[in-house]
Amino acid sequence: MAQESILLVEDEDNVARFIQLELEFEGYYVEVASDGQQGWELSQQKEWDLILLDWMLPKLNGLEVCRRIRKLSEIPIIVLTARDYVGDKIAGLDTGADDYITKPFEIEELLARIRANLRRHNKEKGAANEGIMQLEDLLLDERKRLVFRSENQIELTQREFDLLLYLMQNAGTVLTREQLLSNVWGFDFVGETNVVDVYIRYLRNKLDRDFTPKLIQTVRGIGYVLRSS
């Protein structure tokens, strides 16, 4: 399992070092920014799993950093602050923070909140990615019924989409014309397997003609396969 990464934005050196050591002991990868501007810049330099963000920071305050990050990303953000007025908590959450913890805090509580936010985010991310398939630069979103090649959206008819979906679900497996008819059209065209050839040609014209590598390949005497090489 990949090591989860946390960006800690905290201007008090002793607090930052204490939190960093505790998080590293728990197995997280941690980088520290000592002001809001540096935190904002670091937040854009890699894909973090979670951000711990102090409210009162030099150069850019925590709420402004949070606001900027939230415009671009759904990464979990936990605000750390000594401000315990309920209005301040609401302001932090309304700005886009996922959670809020008031200083001083017990490290066990912070660790628990980190775990809870990571679990929630990973669950949401998994749900969002469900039904998305990719081969090379070809991406298919089954739920939204969208297809992209090299980030260009490809317009497909319903039958073309269903045929591509079945090919994607069986990428790397050679499929006979009869299998494609049965699973895509849902019934047998007796003596009419050439309808598969017609729709394969439609797909090639849209997906392969102007792109490389060519993904839809013919296996002579058998059928077709979707693969990268």
pLDDT in tens, the chain (229 residues): 568 999 999 999 999 999 999 999 999 999 999 999 999 999 999 889 999 999 889 999 888 999 999 888 889 999 988 766 556 666 666 677 888 888 888 999 999 999 999 988 887 776 656 678 889 999 998 888 999 999 899 999 999 999 999 999 999 999 999 899 888 887 655 556 688 999 999 999 999 999 999 999 999 989 999 998 6
Half-sphere exposure of 186 (CA within 13 A, CB side): 2
Long-range residue pairs from 39-42, CB within 8 A, at least 24 positions apart, any chain: 39/7, 39/9, 39/65, 40/65, 40/68, 40/69, 42/7, 42/9
Q: Which CATH architecture has domain 5-129?
A: 3-Layer(aba) Sandwich (3.40)
User: In the prediction, which pLDDT does 84 show?
Assistant: 65
Domain 132-226 has CATH 3.40.50.720: no
What pLDDT is stored for residue 190 in this prediction?
52
- For tokens 């150069």, the residue is 59
> Cis omega (within 30 of 0) on the bond before 76?
no
3-state secondary structure of 131: coil
Model-wide pTM > 0.75: no
pLDDT at site 86? 59
Helices within 26-157 (DSSP H only)? 36-43, 62-72, 86-95, 107-129
pLDDT of residue 127: 60
Q: Which of 117, 136, 120 is nearest to 128 (CA)?
A: 120
**Residue whose C-alpha is closest to residue 163's, from 190, 140, 130:** 140
Q: Decide: 140 and 133 in contact? Cβ < 8 Å.
A: yes
Q: What is the reported pLDDT for 183?
A: 87
Delimit the CATH 3.40.50.2300 region(s) of the chain.
Answer: 5-129
pLDDT of residue 108: 94
CA atoms within 13 A on the CB side of 51: 33
pLDDT of residue 186: 77
Q: State the span(s) of the chain assigned CATH 1.10.10.10.
A: 132-226
pLDDT at 142 (0 to 100): 86
